[in-house]
């Protein structure tokens, strides 16, 4: 099945099952950021109204930072169903072979990506397929670049089964400052490669578990872009 045809079919199936189209997620600024922007902008206006330019400048700068942090740029998605795309902007922290967890059996290749506060924080699907399971876990808020964050921090795991029955797990992990994981997809949905599926506020970590037969295409320390950078592929 060619990628473009597969995407059209998945969108039709998703709408037939009653799921809301994801087009509303394409705004230049993620709408979830408005809960931060509106109060800061209002405080800025009030401060200037009372002739407090220092405080007004502070709130204005904070409001602009929020707009910049919640930016939601378009991406040129490669049409390659055999590739696995990066789910996040950031830096590759670690590449290792690990045992599966309560959602996976056997051994897997795990790619960990760290998102600093300066990265785009909208997450994108690494592959197309059916969302087999989603599991949210409460936890701590250690710095996301530490190994223990993988096991102890708050997280949200999304398991996708591809058309050829491969299972790919993507885990959103909260960080030291991040206190909110957002996931826009639901169990049973048809996931589309490169499509936005969530975000984590203010610095975090993404992990992708690939079957052992997958070839890893990135190296530790490499910078990646969500929905654009190929991090793995299948023959």
**Is residue 101 packed enough to be buried (19+ CB in 10 Å), middle (13-18) or exposed (0-12)?**
middle
209 and 138 in a single domain? The answer is yes
Are 128 and 223 in the same domain? Answer: yes
Q: Model's pTM, two decimal places?
A: 0.85
What percent of the chain is modeled with pLDDT above 70? Answer: 88
Secondary-structure breakdown of the chain: helix, strand, coil percentages, each rounded to the nearest 5: 25, 35, 40
Do 62 and 119 fall into the same domain? no
84 vs 149, higher pLDDT: 84
Q: Is residue 108 domain-resident?
A: yes
- Does 11 map to a domain? no
What is the strand order of the sheet 223-224 is part of?
190-191, 129-137, 155-161, 167-174, 204-211, 107-115, 90-99, 223-224
Out of 3, 44, 83, 204, the active site residue is 204
Structural domain contains residue 4: no
Each residue of 170-191: pLDDT tens digit?
Answer: 999 987 765 578 899 999 998 9
Pick the more confident residue, 167 or 174.
167
Decide if 16 is inside a domain. Answer: no
Show the domain range for 129: 76-233
For the question of residue 116 being annotated catalytic, the response is: no
Rounded to 5 degrees, what angle do the CA atoms 25, 27, 30 make? 70
**Domain match, 200 and 107 both:** yes
Residue 101 lies in a domain: yes
Same domain as 161, residue 105? yes
């Amino acid at each position: 099945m060619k990628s473009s045809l597969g995407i059209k079919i998945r969108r039709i199936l998703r709408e037939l099952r009653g799921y809301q189209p994801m087009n509303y997620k394409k705004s230049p600024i993620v709408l979830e950021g408005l809960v931060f922007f509106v109060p800061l902008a209002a405080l800025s206006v009030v401060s200037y109204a009372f002739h407090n330019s220092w405080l007004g400048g502070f709130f204005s700068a904070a409001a602009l930072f929020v707009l910049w942090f919640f930016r939601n740029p378009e991406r040129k998605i490669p049409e390659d169903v055999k590739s696995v795309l990066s789910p996040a902007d950031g830096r590759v922290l670690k590449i290792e072979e690990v045992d599966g967890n309560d959602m996976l059996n056997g051994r897997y290749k795990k790619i960990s990506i760290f998102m600093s506060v300066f990265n785009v924080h909208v997450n994108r699907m690494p592959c197309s397929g059916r969302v087999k399971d989603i599991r949210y876990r409460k936890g701590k808020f250690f710095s996301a670049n530490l190994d223990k964050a993988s096991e102890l921090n708050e997280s949200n795991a999304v398991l996708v089964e591809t058309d050829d029955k491969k299972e790919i797990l993507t885990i959103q992990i909260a960080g030291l400052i991040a206190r909110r994981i957002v996931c826009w997809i639901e169990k049973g949905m048809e996931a589309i490669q490169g499509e936005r599926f969530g975000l984590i506020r203010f610095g975090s970590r993404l992990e992708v578990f690939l079957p052992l037969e997958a070839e890893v295409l990135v190296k530790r320390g490499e910078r990646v872009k969500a929905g654009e950078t190929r991090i793995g592929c299948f023959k």
